[in-house]
């Protein structure tokens, strides 16, 4: 059985399971009104999950690449998602 670190680094469960994992973590961290935007795939307008915590509204992105990515590739993906998420 692979370690948690290995399972996350070499993710093989697809985006649906990745988003479900993030929803579970958000619940454990006391976020409320958690709403996955396209849990079975499809366009999500730059937001994988919308939720609240305290008096703040949060827009979440879940990114679990299937192969190891260098920092520049992850940064590009983050900036792209951030630009799209700002509409929320």
What DSSP assignment string belongs to 45-64? Answer: TT-SEEEEETTEEEEE----
Confidence of residue 72 (pLDDT cuts 50, 70, 90): very high
What percent of the chain lies above the pLDDT cut of 70?
A: 94
What is the pLDDT averaged over residues 82-86? 82
User: How many structural domains is the chain composed of?
Assistant: 1
- Domain enclosing residue 36, as ranges: 4-85
Cα 79-81-83 angle, rounded to 5 deg? 70
* pLDDT tens readout for residues 25-53: 999 999 999 999 876 766 677 788 999 99
């Amino acid at each position: 059985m692979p370690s948690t670190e290995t399972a996350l680094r070499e993710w093989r469960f697809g985006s649906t399971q990745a988003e479900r994992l993030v929803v579970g973590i958000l619940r454990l961290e006391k976020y409320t009104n958690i709403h996955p935007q396209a849990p079975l795939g499809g366009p999500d307008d730059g937001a994988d999950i919308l939720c609240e915590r305290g008096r703040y509204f949060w827009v979440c992105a879940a990114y679990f690449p299937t192969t190891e990515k260098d920092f520049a590739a992850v940064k590009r993906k983050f900036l792209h998602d951030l630009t799209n998420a700002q509409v929320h």
